[in-house]
């Protein structure tokens, strides 16, 4: 895997624990103010943290939606703060929780045909504009893409979105060119909803 791509997130899908009944969580605005003060740079630090997380994990999730969900979980989890206060490790755990919970919720909505309840559309931009997929169909395909193994998503983001050359990827710790191509085709199969051999047929015609 490429250097700096981020560690794979846990695929555990259990429900998050509930806070104590006597805990009164702050509002989202208050929680955002707490994180902004700790991260610095006004709101830019928090916005950048959320956007970088989604890029590192190669996930199509609306950044604003992710940040709002993260703030909700942080607010409900402030009772677990160590005595030393907010730390990078503590926040990273909340980020992991937020990602797992969003992916779990989206998978449940896909299985129950309730994808219209997923807010935001920023995450559909590449799929709709770059691949020419109808927005209504794109939502389900994005949810399926996000459920793919980490190496498959990472390979697709590196090649199709970041436009990194295969040789550069292999030279920075990724798998063989053949595996990278195979992972990218696997991702495209999900996003385009086409049979697995579509890439091979195009290569034969070329």
What is the distance between the terminal CA atoms of the chain, rounded to a whole angstrom?
29
Q: What is the per-residue pLDDT across 146-170, written as a single tens digit (0 to 9) for each?
A: 999 999 999 999 998 889 888 888 8
Give mean pLDDT, residues 58-77. Answer: 91
Among residues of the chain, what percentage have pLDDT more than 70? 79
User: For position 119, what pLDDT does the model report?
Assistant: 66
> What is the DSSP annotation of the chain?
--TTS-PPPP---PPPPPPPTT--PPPHHHHHHHHHHHH-TTTHHHHHHHHHHHHHTT----HHHHHHHHHHHHHHHGGG--TT---HHHHHHHHHHHHHHHHHHHHHHHHTT-GGG----GGGHIIIIIH---HHHHHHHHHHHHTS-HHHHHHHIIIIIS---HHHHHHTT---HHHHHHHHHHHHHHHHT--TTHHHHHHHH-
Using 50, 70 and 90 to split pLDDT, how confident is the model at 90?
A: confident
User: For position 117, what pLDDT does the model report?
Assistant: 66
Using 50, 70 and 90 to split pLDDT, how confident is the model at 197?
A: low
Predicted TM-score of the model (pTM): 0.78
Residue 74 contacts residue 97 (beta carbons within 8 Å): no
Decide if pLDDT at 26 tops 80: yes
Residue 29: closest CA among 71, 64, 62, 92: 71
Using 50, 70 and 90 to split pLDDT, how confident is the model at 38?
A: confident
Residue 67 contacts residue 163 (beta carbons within 8 Å): no
User: For position 185, what pLDDT does the model report?
Assistant: 92
Distance CA(76)–CA(177), nearest Å, equals 44
Q: What is the per-residue pLDDT across 135-147, written as a single tens digit (0 to 9) for each?
A: 888 889 999 999 9
Q: What is the per-residue pLDDT across 115-126, written as a single tens digit (0 to 9) for each?
A: 776 766 678 888
Backbone angles phi, psi at 115, to 5 degrees: -65, -20
Decide if pLDDT at 206 tops 60: no
Residue 114: closest CA among 124, 122, 123, 105: 105
Q: Which range, 2-11, 19-28, 73-82, 185-194, is most confident?
A: 185-194
Residue 200 has a CB neighbour count (10 Å cut-off) of 11
Mean pLDDT computed over every residue of the chain? 80
């Amino acid at each position: 895997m490429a250097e700096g791509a981020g560690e794979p997130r846990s695929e555990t899908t259990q429900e998050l624990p509930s806070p104590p009944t006597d805990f009164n969580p702050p509002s989202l605005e208050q929680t955002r103010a707490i994180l902004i003060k700790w991260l610095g740079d006004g709101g830019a630090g928090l916005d950048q943290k959320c956007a970088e997380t989604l890029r590192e994990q190669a996930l199509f999730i609306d950044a604003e939606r992710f940040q709002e969900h993260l703030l909700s979980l942080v607010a409900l989890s402030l009772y677990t703060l160590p005595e030393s206060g907010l730390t990078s490790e503590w926040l990273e755990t909340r980020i992991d929780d937020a990602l797992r919970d969003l992916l779990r919720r989206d998978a449940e909505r896909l299985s129950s045909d309730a994808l219209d309840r997923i807010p935001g559309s920023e995450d559909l931009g590449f799929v709709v504009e770059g691949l020419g997929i109808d927005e209504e169909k794109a939502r389900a395909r994005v949810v399926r893409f996000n459920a793919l193994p980490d190496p498959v998503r990472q390979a697709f983001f590196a090649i199709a979105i970041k436009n990194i050359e295969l040789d550069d990827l292999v030279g920075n710790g990724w798998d063989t060119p053949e595996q990278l191509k195979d992972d990218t085709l696997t991702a495209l199969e999900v996003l385009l909803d086409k049979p697995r051999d579509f890439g091979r047929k195009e290569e034969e015609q070329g």
